[in-house]
């Protein structure tokens, strides 16, 4: 199917700055970003929140002595390069880091036939080490158990669902870097369109989608609908 030549991406990626933000109804920082990443990669949002809690205590500036960075503790350069990250600084974009962690965890879940414990062990120890071990190392089992405990705690109080992300025809990002990071992520997933950023009049940044001559494929449409587009046929 072909859509109109150009329209604004209707996806919200506003990040919460801290657990103590006054007046917020979201109990976790960057919760909107966790929700979006969850829908993009079909990983339960409470699992993503649990991994972030265990990995970094939700600290977007965390760095480990094993050279893992950001809220989801993406290892540099190995895992980061595997996920297409070219600059270390990108790992300190919280929403991009969360998307990378969700994408990596989805890959590990697929590689372990949906075995969450083994996928988490691979996230912690590295997939190569886990694939060579028929029995999970004690440390990896302990890590998976910590995540499971956190997931149960989070799931008991917060089963967040992705709400409708439409806000008319424009959505703003506070940060140009965050907008560009999301545009780059979409460019790697949607074959029938290209994404770019544009400064908004209010000082924020918009992500724009330009439909290519070939039009969106059914897979593209399905992916975009997963992200909140429910009226693509009307464009």
**Residues with catalytic annotation?**
55
pLDDT of residue 66: 92
CA distance 48 to 31: 10
DSSP state of 230: -
Q: Does domain 31-157 have CATH number 3.40.50.720?
A: no
ω before 37 within 30° of 0 (cis)? Answer: no
Count H helices and E strands in the chain, helices first: 9, 6
Q: How many angstroms separate the CA atoms of 57 and 81, rounded?
A: 24
Helices (H), 127-173: 127-131, 138-157
CA 39 to chain centre: 8
pLDDT tens string for the chain (235 positions)? 333 333 333 333 333 333 333 334 456 788 888 988 888 898 988 899 999 999 999 999 999 999 999 999 999 999 999 999 999 999 999 999 999 999 999 999 999 999 999 999 999 999 988 988 788 999 999 999 999 999 888 875 543 332 222 333 345 677 777 778 777 777 887 888 787 788 877 778 877 777 777 777 777 777 766 665 554 544 4
Cβ-based neighbours of 122, under 8 Å, separated by 6 or more: 108, 111, 112, 129, 130, 131
Residue 206 C-alpha from the chain's centroid: 18
**Annotated domain spans of the chain:** 6-12+164-234, 31-157
For residue 202, the model assigns a pLDDT of 75
Residue 191 is predicted with a pLDDT of 83
Alpha-helical segments (H) within the chain: 31-41, 45-56, 78-82, 94-111, 116-125, 127-131, 138-157, 176-187, 218-226
């Amino acid at each position: 199917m072909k859509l109109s030549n150009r329209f604004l991406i209707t996806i919200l990626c506003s990040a919460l700055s801290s657990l103590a933000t006054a007046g917020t109804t979201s109990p976790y920082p960057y919760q909107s970003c966790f929700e979006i990443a969850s829908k993009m990669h079909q990983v339960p949002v409470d699992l993503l929140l649990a991994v972030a809690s265990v990995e970094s205590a939700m600290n977007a500036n965390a760095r480990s002595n094993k050279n893992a960075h950001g809220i989801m503790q993406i290892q540099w350069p190995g895992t980061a390069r595997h996920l297409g990250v070219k600059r270390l600084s990108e790992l300190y974009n919280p929403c991009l880091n969360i998307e990378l962690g969700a994408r990596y965890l989805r890959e590990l879940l697929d590689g372990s036939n949906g075995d969450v414990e083994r996928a988490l062990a691979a996230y912690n120890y590295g997939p190569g080490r886990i694939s060579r071990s028929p029995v999970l190392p004690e440390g990896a089992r302990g890590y998976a158990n910590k995540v499971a405990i956190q997931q149960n705690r989070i799931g008991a109080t917060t089963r967040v669902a992705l709400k409708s992300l439409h806000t008319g025809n424009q959505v703003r990002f506070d940060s140009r870097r965050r907008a560009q990071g999301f545009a780059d992520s979409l460019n790697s997933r949607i074959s029938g369109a290209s994404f770019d950023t544009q400064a908004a009049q209010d000082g924020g940044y918009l992500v724009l989608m330009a439909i290519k001559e070939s039009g969106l494929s059914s897979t593209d449409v399905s992916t975009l609908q997963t992200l909140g587009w429910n009226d693509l046929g009307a464009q």
